[in-house]
Chains A and B, each alone.
Chain A
Amino acid sequence: MRNNKLTPYLFLLPGCIILGAFIFYPMLQAIWMSFTDYNMITDPSFVKFDNYTQLFQDDLFWKTLTNTLIYLVGVVPALVIAPIFLAVLVNQKLKGIAFFRSAYYIPVVTSLVVAGIAWDWVYKENGLLNYVLDLLNIISEPIPWLTSTQTALFAVMVVTVWKGLGYYMIIYLAGLQSIPDSLYEAADIDGANWWQKMIRITIPMLMPFVLIVTIMSSIAAMKVFEEIYVMTGGGPLHSSETLVFYIYTEAFDRLNMGYASAAGVILFLLTLVFSLINLKVMGKDNSE
């Protein structure tokens, strides 16, 4: 390999072939397919905007879109705020603190199928959660968490939050450790209490990380699928069905490839806002 003009392209070739074959080409194909009727058996036929107009008239589509937004609004604040306190907690200089850090990280590394099964069992009517809430006198009757239209979506959201806490905690921990000790020492001299230090020093210094976590958890919340698939199957009565679940069932259960692609394009447009902010943040880090 001589150092000629081709060299850089040779290095880029394998990665670009993969990205081309499995991202760029499929992207174009997905957009094109969203304007066709295609069931994998007969050839696709061009139907212009039919899939989109049908989509906007489909109550189930609106329902899944609403559920997705509820998911976003419920999960993101929890995943942005709670891990800050966890990070502060595991940043204490205490004996055995590494053990707790690891324990909190375990849900992150376990697969969602295992997590879903574990929580499904916790949520049973005679299960652990109802028992604990009963002991604490919070509820008088057991709640069928996953089988009631009132609670199913909420119950799955809890699992998403629980599984993400450890990961975002570590991100904030990286942030905490980048705050110079001298700031806290100065605050101590001024007689600041724990809460004042938290509000005046910790949170403001963590803001860049708060932004990262907000974007990451928002994009993840828009794409939630596995938890739903494993725990509720979108039910009962579609009450926990999200947009990606809808895309999945339209595409792979009903083979409405064109229609599902149109719903996928909508998903893409919705996540685009967050992605663009993400790119901007990355670009800023990059130029520094």
Chain B
Amino acid sequence: MAKQKKQAPNRKIVKKISLYILLIAVTLFMIGPFLWLLSTALKSGSENIFQYPPKLLPEEPTLSNFSTVMEVFPFWRYLFNSAVVAVLTVVLNVLFCSLAAYPLARMNFKGKNIIFVLIIATMMIPFQLLMIPVYIISLKLGLQNTYLGMVLPHVTTAFGVFLMRQAFMTVPKSLDESARMDGANSFQIWLRVLMPLVKPAMVTLTIFTFVSAWGDFLWPLIIVNDNDMYTLPLGLNMLSGTFTSDWRLIAAGAIISMIPIITIFLLLQRFFIGGAMKGAIKG
């Protein structure tokens, strides 16, 4: 501390300014590609987007690319599909994982350890191996081109069970016991006593599951071949395959499909970042 006080105020300002320059340089690297895409999406048809050197800003900014792309890109349909898939995955995941975590955290029963080890062991199996048989099973169950088909393989994760179990274990046992004295059964204790006390872990699990379900590409690519059931990533992938030459439209489509998740992120960034930090410490 003594040393810092001796620093001339000038040096402190220089340090601050160089930190900001560094922060801004990294920001350009992290969101530059998106800004460049946005600039392209705003360029009018009369501007050559392939010219060299590239023009960083549009000459006559226009929104016409966005209205054109909305005509060929069923954005609302894809957004609805993405939302259904993400919400269903999150709700079922939080429910199934916290149900399974409760006896693992609180009860003694035959096979407890082996069941816990088996659940955790599922983390070791890459989905990229399972996707082939899961595809065959899903076809047999009639799950192709359905929301359930996209959702079911992801509605219980070892990570979720582990996270919820850790959270339950931090709740004092005396709370369960006094509820039991009052005549509550196990299900009531789980629902009324424990669940309200593990909200932070539920938020973490929700965010994790939401981000991975929202961005999931490989599994929907396999199980869905009906355009009407496409999620945003699948729809956008098709758009960029269809309009390979028209980068204005591709750029506009990509920007539009970013808007929902970026909005959610900006509104809830505290939970996104807090959740990732907690996830890091817990597992």
Contact = CB atoms under 8 A, between A and B. Distances in A.
A21 B137 contact: yes
A178 B118 CA distance: 32
B74 interface: no
B53 interface: yes
A167 B34 contact: no
A1 B187 contact: yes
Contact of A8 (B109, B119, B120, B257): B109
Contacts of B104: 12
A113 B54 contact: no
B51 A126 contact: yes
B197 interface: no
B189 to A, nearest CB: 10
Given A105-B269, A106-B265, A167-B276, A23 B23 contact: no
Contacts of B19: 89, 92, 94
A185 B123 contact: no
Nearest to B283: A282
Interface residues of A, number: 105
A28 to B, nearest CB: 8
B13 interface: no
A199 B29 CA distance: 26
A12 B107 CA distance: 12
Contacts, number: 293
Interface in B203-257: 211, 214-215, 217-218, 221-222, 232-234, 236-237, 240, 247, 250-251, 254, 257
A208 to B, nearest CB: 10
A223 interface: yes
Given A2-B185, A126-B51, A230-B237, A162 B277 contact: no
Contacts of B131: 248, 251
A54 interface: no
User: Main SS of chain A's interface residues?
Assistant: helix
B169 to A, nearest CB: 9
A3 B129 CA distance: 40
Interface residues of B, number: 101
Contacts of B99: 11-12, 14-15
A251 B132 contact: yes
Contacts of A257: 132, 136
A124 B46 CA distance: 20
Interface in B12-29: 16, 19-20, 22-23, 26-27, 29
Given A118-B33, A126-B52, A267 B129 contact: yes
A171 B22 contact: no
B215 A111 contact: yes
A33 B102 CA distance: 36
Nearest to A5: B109
B40 interface: yes
A235 interface: no
Contact of B240 (A89, A117, A225): A117
8 contacts: A15-B96, A15-B161, A18-B153, A19-B118, A25-B133, A100-B27, A121-B37, A272-B124
Interface of B: 1-4, 16, 19-20, 22-23, 26-27, 29-34, 36-37, 40, 50-54, 95-97, 99-100, 102-104, 107, 109, 112, 115, 118-137, 152-153, 155-156, 161-162, 166, 185-187, 190, 211, 214-215, 217-218, 221-222, 232-234, 236-237, 240, 247, 250-251, 254, 257-258, 261-262, 265-266, 269, 272-273, 276-278, 280-283
The 9 closest A-B pairs by CB, nearest first: A8-B103, A264-B129, A15-B100, A275-B124, A26-B133, A174-B277, A171-B280, A118-B33, A29-B133
Interface of A: 1-3, 5, 7-9, 11-12, 14-16, 18-19, 21-27, 29-30, 33, 40, 86, 89-90, 92, 94, 97-98, 100-115, 117-119, 121-122, 124, 126-128, 131, 134, 142, 162, 165-167, 170-171, 173-175, 177-178, 185, 188-189, 191, 209, 212, 219, 222-223, 225-226, 229-230, 244, 247-248, 251-252, 257, 260-261, 264-265, 267-268, 271-272, 275-276, 278-279, 282, 285-286
Given A23-B130, A106-B262, A264-B132, 9 more contacts: A9-B103, A16-B115, A27-B125, A105-B269, A113-B236, A118-B34, A124-B50, A128-B32, A248-B131
